[in-house]
Amino acid sequence: METLMTITAGVLFTVGTYLILSKTLLRIIMGMSLFTHGVHIMLMAINGLKRGAAPLLGEEAESYTDPVPQALILTSIVISFSLTAFSLVLAYRTYKEHGTDDVEQLRGQEND
Amino acid sequence: MSLLHFAVLLPFLYTVFVPLFFKKLPRVHTGWFVLIVPLLLFVYFAAQFPLRSGSAPLFQSLSWIPSLGIRFDLHLDGLSMLFALIITGIGFLVIVYSIYYMSKEREALHNFYIYLLVFMGAMLGIVLSDNLMVLYVFWEATSVSSFLLIAYWFQRKRSRYGAQKAMLITVTGGFAMLLGFLMLGSAAGTFSIREIVAMKEVIVNDSLFIPAMLLVLLGAFTKSAQFPFHIWLPDAMEAPTPISAYLHSATMVKAGVYLVARMTPVFGGHMSWFWIITIIGIVTLFWGAFMAIRQFDLKALLAYSTISQLGLIMSLLGIGSLALHTNYEAQAMLFSGAILAAVFHLFNHSIFKGSLFMVVGILDHETGTRDIRKLGGLLSLMPVSFSLTIIGGLSMAGLPPFSGFLSKEMFFTGVLTAYQHIDQWVVLLPIVAWLASVFTFVYCLVFVFKTFTGTYRPERLDKKPHEAPAGMLVSPIVLATLVLVIFFFPNLISYTLLEPAMRSVLPSLLQPGEVFEVDIKPWHGFNTELFMTVGIVVMGSLLYKTYKKWSDIYYNLPRKFDFNHMYDKGLTGAERLSARVTNFYMNGFLHSYLSYIFTFVIIVVGGSFLLQRAFAIDPSTNAVIEWHEYLLAVSIAVSSGFVLFVNSRLTSIIGVGAVGYLVSLLFVIFRAPDLALTQLVVETITTALFLLCFYFLPKLKTEVVRIRVKVSNLLISIGVGTVFTLIGISAQSTNPFKPISHFFLNSYELSGARNMVNSILVDFRAFDTMLESVVLFTAGIGVYTLINLRKSRREKR
């Protein structure tokens, strides 16, 4: 299971990297989003999966899954959400201002 | 911290007060306040004088960076004493002179004196340090202060050019020297010069001996403006004249000479040390003298003359080092005479060249020019300056009754000794030395006569010349008097200054308690040296008279071999090359920069994993996989791949959204209910935002990229994916650390929460969560601002 999940994460990394390397702003943001998903899956997988109950003491189980990566990922989800939202609006604004969403055309010159 | 340490640090400490004097007491020339520093130091060093005849040198230790073996140890022996007295003595006279030379109304005097004091302290540090690393620090400090002083009139382009040139050349040499010091240090296991000298036997047999020697010499030659690194010195003449007199003739340029002398007990006695130093020295002597004749600027003439004289001292140190060679044990005392000549000439050069520079400063000050084509006939107008020039100039030419004659004769004795005891073809040495001395004589005549005799042409001068004020004349008069006194009473300094200095250069030649025999006298009978001097006068006068006929050779020198030309070409070439390299990779394309980052990750992270054999695949502890989990994994892969291949915005947004929802399903399987819930909410909002952009952003185009770029993108992506997958799998398979999660099993007792994840977020790591909220909030403000602010402003317009 862990290996399978890591490979899934690897697929997300590959696709994410490819999208990040493209020229369109929207694609770059989508790439970042996929990359984050990959990171989350991988963080879970590294720790070992399905070892015990959900980390809720009310379950009164023998063992619980590790709560630490979950707390980390929860933080990460929120942060990456902020990032995605901001990037999207930035892309929107950039398009409004410059009339293009192609990062190659957006590069500034040193002497500008 | 001893008094000796304080002496070195005093100039540095005093710099703090200089701006105060300049700002608060603008009526009094700042120089008067600075004057006390060299005076105090001179008195202090002079009071240490009973160094003569075998008394132990002063040694003071202070720990600085003990873990690296770097100690701020100071060591005052004969050689250091000679230099310390020159530094503080000439420093005192130069400051007196500068008080009249530098206008207190127009110049930024506080800068001037701060740089000067920093230089003085650094120079004292060089000649007193026993530790090579400390010596290096002070060495570079003199380069920096020299840079600042050359560029003192930084409004002038030539000043900036000269300062940069001096800096680049001396600092490059300094780096080489540092490398040499590190090699010496590793060979000897210590950075202390005294200990290195004591371990000479070990070092000589070390494989780093020759590389260390070459690198140290590179440092010495660049600093002392030896051929072919001499080109920085003439350009350094853009500095104010007191600085040229102090740094660029009397002290700083002699740091290289000092280093060679200081290192002679270590490297001396090795044939390559002798050959390199002697040949470079003699070539410098010749080339400097030859080039000095063609100069029109008096300061440039003196600069070339300084180069030439430094070459003379260098070559003497080279010859003298043979006294330590095992093959020449019988002639050791003869060769040691060359070392005596070197230290003696070093002293003489400091006094006569100092006075000559000061006279040039006076001429510049009083006539407004230093160009000998404009000057002439000043004899009757400036009689005192004329007398001073005669004394300095003829001492430089090596004529009696001036002190330069004595050391020049000793120089000839040195080269003749080398010729007699080494090999037949070494006869070149005295011949080149003699030729160089002829040229020296010619430029001395040029200096004296072109300036003071001939026709007086006031229309070419900016000012009406008259004799300088007394204050400006004091310092050169003191120095010129010394020139005369030393000629008539050379033994005033022979056992007090010269012999102890000689003893520190050649310590192993003497038994404890012994001293070198030093008897300097002007008359040795009719010997070869005297005939050489007579020949110089005859030949030199002839050449001076016929200068017009042979001066053409200067203009036919091939430009290709001009070292200045090479330096300029090299510099612009290096600038262009670095600009090209930088523009090559900093091309402004986001795509390139991201590619570098990803490639770096693949190569460095993946590579170091490979090299460390850290990849480990051990699936034995894996949990079992159910069929629906396979289905989820495949769906995630398919939906993400889907995004790659479609060009419709809507479809790709749906693809990204699908991945998000599928991941939240995974979280359910992973027993992470909180994550699943959060992910669901966040994914919904994100998709909504994407759709908003879908509405506003243009349609996705099929990206037209070259197939090469496409392939490289693909390779990078696959590389990143593979490296991360492998790292992830390896991380699962090895567990170097024990998990800390059992602590949170007590979350109910500790924080009253049954949900461990929640208690971590809001209790154990509450600050993280708070800051996370700040991030969210900031992003929210950013989103709001970006959407609204510009619109409203535009509407107002």
Cβ pair A82:B725 closer than 8 A: no
pLDDT digits (tens, 9 = 90+) for B121-152: 999 999 999 999 999 999 999 999 999 999 99
Report the C-alpha gap between B402 and B484 in whole angstroms: 5
pLDDT, one tens digit per residue, over B712-729 is 999 999 999 999 999 988
For A85, the domain range is 2-51+64-100
Distance CA B284, CA B536 (A): 19
The encoded tokens of residue B348 equal: 């003489």
Q: How far apart are CA B189 and CA B787, in angstroms?
A: 67
Mean pLDDT, range B742-762, rounded to an integer: 86
Coil vs helix vs strand at B370: coil
Question: What are the b/e assignments for A98-112, b being 16+ CB within 10 Å?
Answer: eeebbbeebeeeeee
Residue B228 CB coordination number (10 Å): 14
Q: Give which of B347, B344, B381, B346 is closest to B362, Cα–Cα.
A: B381
- Model confidence at B448: pLDDT above 60: yes
What pLDDT was estimated at residue B376?
81
Question: CB contact, 8 Å: B62 with chain A?
Answer: no
pLDDT-based confidence at residue B89 (cuts at 50, 70, 90): very high
Vertex B551 angle, CA B545 and B557, to 5°:
155
- Assess whether the previous peptide bond of B38 is cis (omega < 30° from 0): no
SS3 assignment, position B257:
helix
B661 or B795, greater pLDDT: B661
Return the residue of A nearest to B653 by Cα: A30
End-to-end Cα, chain A, rounded Å: 53
Helix (H, G, I), strand (E, B) or coil at A53: strand
Query: Are A4 and B696 within 8 A, CB to CB?
Result: no
Give the closest of A45, A83, A90 to B732, CB-based.
A45
Pairing assessment for the beta strands B70-71 and B74-76 based on DSSP bridges: unpaired
| Predicted local distance difference test score (pLDDT) of residue B220 | 94
What are the tens digits of pLDDT across the range B365-401? 888 888 888 888 888 888 888 999 999 999 998 888 8
- Mention every residue, 6+ apart, whose C-beta is less than 8 A from residue B30: B18, B21, B22, B104, B109, B110, B113
Contact at CB, B724 and A22, closer than 8 angstroms: no
Alpha helices in B154-254 (DSSP H): 157-188, 193-198, 200-204, 209-223, 232-235, 241-245
B647 phi and psi angles, rounded to 5 deg: -105, -5
For residue A18, give the nearest of B717, B724, B760 by CB distance: B717
pLDDT digits (tens, 9 = 90+) for B336-375: 888 999 999 999 999 999 999 999 999 888 888 888 888 8
Q: Are B223 and B258 in contact (CB under 8 A)?
A: no
Please give the structure tokens belonging to residue B51: 């160094």
Helix (H) or strand (E) holding B690: helix B673-696
Give B-chain residues touching A73 at CB under 8 angstroms: 672, 675
Task: Identify which of B316, B340, B723, B692 has the alpha carbon closest to the alpha carbon of residue B516.
Answer: B340
Side-chain half-sphere of B569: how many Cα atoms within 13 Å?
Answer: 8
Contact B398, B533 (CB under 8 A): yes
Residues of B in Cβ contact (< 8 Å) with A44: 666-667, 670, 672
The angle formed by the CA atoms of residues B262, B267 and B269, to the nearest 5 degrees, is: 115
- Whether residue B732 lies within 8 A of chain A, CB to CB, comes out as yes
d(CA A62, nearest CA chain B) in Å: 11
Tokens coding B483: 């020139």
Q: How far apart are CA A14 and CA B717, in angstroms?
A: 5
Q: Could you tell me how far CA B95 lies from the centroid of its own chain?
A: 25
Q: Which candidate, B675, B670, B676, places its Cα nearest to that of B625?
A: B670
Spatial CB neighbours of B284, under 8 Å, sequence gap ≥ 6:
B225, B226, B227, B230, B307, B308, B310, B311, B314
Q: What is the pLDDT of residue B400?
A: 82
| pLDDT tens figures, B602-634 | 999 989 988 988 788 877 777 788 888 889 999
CATH number at residue A29: 1.10.287
CB contact under 8 A, B637 and A8: yes
What share of chain B in percent tops pLDDT 70? 97
- Looking at residue B336, its pLDDT comes to 87
Q: Report the alpha-carbon distance of residue B529 to residue A67 in Å, rounded.
A: 95
Tokens of B656: 């990204």
Helical residues (DSSP H) of B15-131, grouped into ranges: 18-24, 30-34, 36-47, 78-101, 109-128
Interacting residues of B178 by C-beta distance below 8 A, sequence separation 6+: B136, B219
Q: 10 Å Cβ neighbour count for B489?
A: 11
pLDDT confidence of B560, banded at 50, 70, 90? low
- Is there a domain that residue A25 lies in? yes
* pLDDT-derived band at B792, boundaries 50, 70, 90: low
Looking at the complex, does the CB of residue B763 fall below 8 Å from at least one CB of chain A? Answer: no
In this structure, are residues B355 and B476 in contact, taking their beta carbons and an 8 Å threshold? yes
Q: How confident is the model at residue B636 (pLDDT cuts 50, 70, 90)?
A: very high
Residue A73 lies in a domain: yes
B220/B217 Cα distance (integer angstroms) = 5
Could you read off the pLDDT of A10-55 as tens digits, one per residue?
Answer: 999 999 999 999 888 888 999 999 999 999 999 988 887 777 788 8
**Which of B675, B718, B749, B768 to mutate to test binding with chain A, by most A CBs within 10 Å of its CB?**
B675
Which residues in chain B (587-616) have CB-CB distances under 8 A to chain A?
Answer: 588-591, 594-595, 598
For the stretch A43-79, pLDDT in tens is 988 887 777 788 888 777 778 888 888 999 999 999 9
Provide the residue type at B452 as one letter: F
Say if residue A83 is exposed, middle or buried (CB neighbours under 10 Å; 0-12, 13-18, 19+): middle
Q: Is the pLDDT of residue B701 over 80?
A: no
Residues B405/B464, Cβ–Cβ less than 8 Å: no
Alpha-carbon distance of B488 to B490, in angstroms, equals: 6
Given an 8 Å threshold on Cβ–Cβ distance, is B623 in contact with A50? yes
Most confident of B274-278, B463-467, B589-593: B274-278
- Are A37 and B659 in contact, with CB atoms under 8 Å apart? yes
Provide the angle, in degrees to the nearest 10, between the axes of the packed helices B428-452 and B528-545: 50
**What are the b/e assignments for B598-627, b being 16+ CB within 10 Å?**
beebbeeebeebeeeeeeeeeeeebbebee
Smallest Cα–Cα separation from B305: which of B283, B286, B278? B286
Check if B652 contacts A (Cβ < 8 Å): yes
> Average of pLDDT values for B411-434?
86
Contacts of B659 in chain A (CB under 8 A): 12, 34, 37
Write out chain B residues lying below 8 Å of A94, CB-based.
Answer: none
Q: Report CB contact under 8 Å: A71, B682.
A: no
Q: Is B629 within 8 Å of chain A by CB?
A: yes
Q: What is the average pLDDT value for chain B, to the nearest integer?
A: 87
Query: What is the mean predicted confidence (pLDDT) over B171-192?
Result: 92
C-alpha–C-alpha distance, residues B265 and A29, integer Å: 69
Interface contact flag, A15 B591, Cβ < 8 Å: no
Does a structural domain hold residue A110?
Answer: no
Tokens representing residue B342 in the block? 């070197």
The pLDDT score that the predictor gives to residue A112 is: 45
Closest by alpha carbon to B403, among B489, B461, B284, B319? Answer: B489
Side-chain half-sphere of B348: how many Cα atoms within 13 Å? 36
**Residue whose C-alpha is closest to residue B251's, from B58, B93, B388:** B93
Span B245-253, average pLDDT:
90
* B678 → closest Cβ in A6, A15, A74: A74
A90 assigned to some structural domain: yes
Give B43: exposed, middle or buried? Use CB within 10 Å, 0-12, 13-18, 19+.
exposed
How far apart CA B791 and CA B495 sit, in angstroms, is 89
The domain tally of chain A equals 1
Domain boundaries, chain B: 1-264, 268-555, 594-736
Which two structure tokens, joined as six digits, stand for A22? 């493209």
pLDDT of residue B117: 93
The CA-atom distances, in angstroms, between A65 and each of B336, B418, B658 are 85, 88, 26
Question: Residue B571: is its pLDDT beyond 60?
Answer: yes
With the C-alpha atoms ordered B171, B172, B177, B180, is the resulting torsion angle positive or negative?
Answer: positive
For residues B702 and B231, the model is more confident at B231
Cα–Cα nearest to B222, from B140, B332, B104 = B140
Domain assignment present for A57? no
3-state secondary structure of B63: strand
Residue B496 buriedness (CB in 10 A; 0-12 / 13-18 / 19+): middle
Q: Secondary structure of chain A: what % helix, strand, coil (to 5)?
A: 70, 5, 25
What digits encode the pLDDT tens for the residues B502-542? 888 888 887 777 778 877 877 777 888 888 888 888 998 98
Residues in chain A within 8 Å Cβ distance of B617: 3
Long-range contacts, stretch B55-63, CB < 8 angstroms, 24+ apart: B57/B504, B58/B4, B59/B130, B59/B194, B60/B2, B60/B4, B60/B5, B62/B1, B62/B2, B62/B5
